[in-house]
Amino acid sequence: MTSFLQWFEYGGVMLIPIAVASVVGLALFIARWRAHDRARVMPTGLRLAVLKAVGDKNWDKAQELCARQDSPLGRVFGEGLRFRGGERAAIRSAMEDVGRRQIHHLERYVGAIGALASVTPLMGLLGTVLGMIRVFQDLVQEAGAQGVVDPTQLAGGIWEALVTTAAGLAVAIPLYLGYRYLLGRLDATSVDLEEAAAQMLDLLAPPPQEGLSGTDGEEGR
């Protein structure tokens, strides 16, 4: 405990916001990591079960499955079912709108983690600059009083000032890695939702069979 307090004394006041940033960043990462869990976004078996029910024209079962497992995938499927019987473009637009809202919801606070990863090294650098200013002020006062500067005091002051830079980097590096990890999860989730929505769309409103009429006409001739 004493050693921990000594590090705070060496690093100065800027260690406090760096420590706060580390706690907040960790809490945000854990919360977003849990929200991006695949079992929450795309519950196991829901995709196949709903698509099978839609293929069998069992609309009640499909809607029940979507409502029972409330999730981003269930909301996208539920919106498609709500517009069943409509035009293909209208169903696609409705599911895309819901999908964008779900991705936006998953993106919440991810940017804040990236911001903390960017600002903590700057806070550490600011702490180092303030520490260096304090060191040189002390050296000037000592030189004025004694006429001699002790090199060991200068070296000791410099390493103490560098504590905040090291602390800022130690916090920023894992936060940045966590930020990039969450962005990768978001991209993968977005692709999965798009693929699932495309499968649902093909079942609700099959695409037109292009080229069939032309082929029939040629055979008739």
Is the per-residue pLDDT at 221 higher than 60?
no
For the ranges 80-84, 100-104, 209-213, the lowest mean pLDDT is seen at 209-213
Sign of torsion, CA 153 158 161 163? negative
pLDDT digits (tens, 9 = 90+) for 108-153: 999 999 999 999 999 999 988 888 887 777 777 766 666 565 666 6
Percentage above 70 pLDDT, the chain: 82
CB-CB contact of 135 with 157 (8 Å): yes
Q: Between residues 98 and 157, which one has the greater pLDDT?
A: 98
Please report, in angstroms and rounded to a whole number, the separation of the first and last CA atoms in the chain: 93
Query: Of 171, 188, 200, 156, which Cα lies nearest the Cα of 66?
Result: 200
Mean pLDDT, range 81-110, rounded to an integer: 93
User: What length is written for the chain?
Assistant: 221
Is the per-residue pLDDT at 220 higher than 60?
no
Give pTM, 2 decimals: 0.80
pLDDT digits (tens, 9 = 90+) for 147-196: 565 666 666 667 777 888 999 999 999 999 999 999 999 999 999 999 99
